[in-house]
RNA sequence: ACCGCAGACCGCUCUGCCGCCUUUCGGGGAGGAAAGUCCGGACAACACAGAGCACCGCACCGUCUAACUGGCGGAGUUCUUUCGCUUUGGCGGAAGGGCAUAGAAAGUGUCGCAGAAAAUAACUUCCCGUUGGAAUUGAGGCAAGGUGGGUUCACCCGCCUUCGUUGAGGUUACAGCAGGUAAAGGUGAAAACGUGUGGUAAGAGCGCACGAUCCCGGCUGGUAACAGUUGGGAGGGAUAAACCUUGCGGGUUGAAAUGCCAUGUACACCUUGUUUGGCUGCCGUAGUUCUGAUUUUUCAGAUCUAUGGUGGGUGAAUACUCGGCUCGCGUAGUCUCGGCUUCGGUUGGGAGCAAGGGGGGUAGGCAGCGCAGAUUCCAACAACUGUUGGAACCAGAUAAAUGGCAGAGGUUCCAGCUCGUCCCAGACGAUAUGGAAUACAGAAUCCGGCUUAUAGGUCUGCGGUUUUU
């Protein structure tokens, strides 16, 4: 049963700032991903830790931002098993940030497609080789 | 019934699947504004003799309140609408809105355009005085002529006349000087009280009558602001959302406040210890010695040594029923230099070590933080605001939960098949079906307000229009 509990969320301020300094990134419209191999301390909690963000610049009210975050979170929650299998196959522990970069609020179907694209595009074992 | 205005209130519902946060494991889980962060408090830390200055805020009165730049009620003033009266200037009533509503009579500053002038009153005008020349008038004098009288003439006196001369003075306008005046100047939002009359050189609250305004006092009404009335006095433009003055209030910083917590890293500095203790009960294991049993092997007991477990005690000090969790769960007790020495030690310094204190860094946790309370409702008692009892409300996240998807219904609007009623080219009501809309907006320590945003709906009051009785 797909879930999304506290250990799977990226909350450490330190980990987030290090993600900004030296993370790999790619775009899966309408989403942008920044990711990095996580520290052993975080890895002990969960193999993958995710942070979802929606910029205030594009969505002024908190209500609009909250809804988009919830939709992204739901899409990730329902599809994350596929992502976990892929990560496990390449034997990685990662933390990643998902930002919503579209200027307008898109329907849920498009967000869901974006998350699917995100999982497909993730480099995975190529990184391990390199 | 519809429309408009004002006030108060509500702020879509249900089902399925999959989730999230919290929990005492039963449950519980966004708002009227959770928003803006504009006021006021609670609470916390730091500061704090007293007074003054500076700075900031507030400013009609009463009342409510923990408090407020808040609520409610009132006063004054001003504007709008409307009605009535009217001497056409206004006056009075009703409804509603605005007021940063202390002081402009302490001082300083400022006052666009227009206007002579925007504040010691200057200019024009008007008026008195004086000077100058001009015009006009002109008493009188002189001269000449005429004439009357006195008279011989001379001369004297008088009268009249002159484009004659002289001429004090008057009048008029002009110019200069020295004053008086603020009535006139028509512009402006505003012009130094208004109207009348007296007065004056001309004028003026300069005097008087009536009226308006302001200040001080008395009386009446009102808790008060204030209103009415009365006596005396005053002439003073506006602006304090210019400085300022007066009165009152304010210590500063805000939950990123503040308090607490263990581990790990490096360690300035300070204090203490390194003089004491290292012992011992019980149990297990191995060994030494002795005693007894025994032919020996071996067994039992005692003693000593080593070691392990578990208690007690000692020890400078922390804790073990520790701590939020994990790890961890005891440790320093030495060296060196000098003095004394009965050679056993003792005493002083230094280094090291140990424990505690301690400042700073990193990333966290707990408390603050909510079954709480200046809360709301009801009842009783006491009495004008309290007490007692009962009930209601009951989120607690922290890169931040309270949701996602699908479906059904509700409400409103538009289109519309059909049906019904009536005063039947229409209006109203019901309604299959289709379409659209369903707002503003997300807690972050907590309360009391204010402000702003808001689809749609409900109720109350007032006004207008229409219909029926």
Q: Are A124 and A90 in contact (CB under 8 A)?
A: yes
pLDDT in tens, A22-42: 667 788 877 888 877 665 555
How far, CA to CA in Å, does A56 sit from each of A37, A47, A48?
27, 29, 26
pLDDT in tens, A56-76: 778 888 888 888 888 888 888
The sign of the CA dihedral A126, A127, A129, A130 is positive
Nucleotides of B under 7 A from a protein CB: 18-22, 30, 362-364, 398-406, 441-443
- Residue A119 CB closer than 7 angstroms to strand B? no
**pTM score, two decimals?**
0.64
Listing DSSP states for A97-114 in one string gives EEEE--SSPPPHHHHHHH
Domains delineated in chain A: 6-121 (3.30.230.10)
Q: A19 pLDDT band (50/70/90 cuts)?
A: low
The per-residue pLDDT of chain A, averaged, comes to 74
Q: A43 pLDDT band (50/70/90 cuts)?
A: low
Number of other CB atoms surrounding residue A87 within 10 Å: 19
- Residue A12 CB closer than 7 angstroms to strand B? yes
């Amino acid at each position: 049963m797909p879930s999304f509990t506290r250990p799977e969320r990226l909350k450490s301020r330190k980990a987030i700032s290090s993600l900004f300094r030296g993370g790999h990134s790619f775009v899966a419209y309408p989403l942008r991903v920044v990711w990095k191999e996580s520290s052993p301390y975080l890895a002990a909690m969960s193999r993958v830790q995710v942070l979802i963000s929606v910029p205030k610049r594009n969505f002024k009210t908190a209500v609009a931002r909250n809804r988009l975050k919830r939709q992204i979170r739901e899409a990730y929650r329902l599809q994350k098993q596929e992502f976990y299998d892929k990560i496990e196959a390449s034997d990685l522990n990662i933390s990643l940030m998902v930002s919503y970069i579209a200027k307008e609020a898109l329907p849920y179907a498009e967000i869901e497609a974006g998350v699917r694209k995100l999982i497909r595009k993730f480099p995975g074992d190529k990184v391990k080789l390199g």
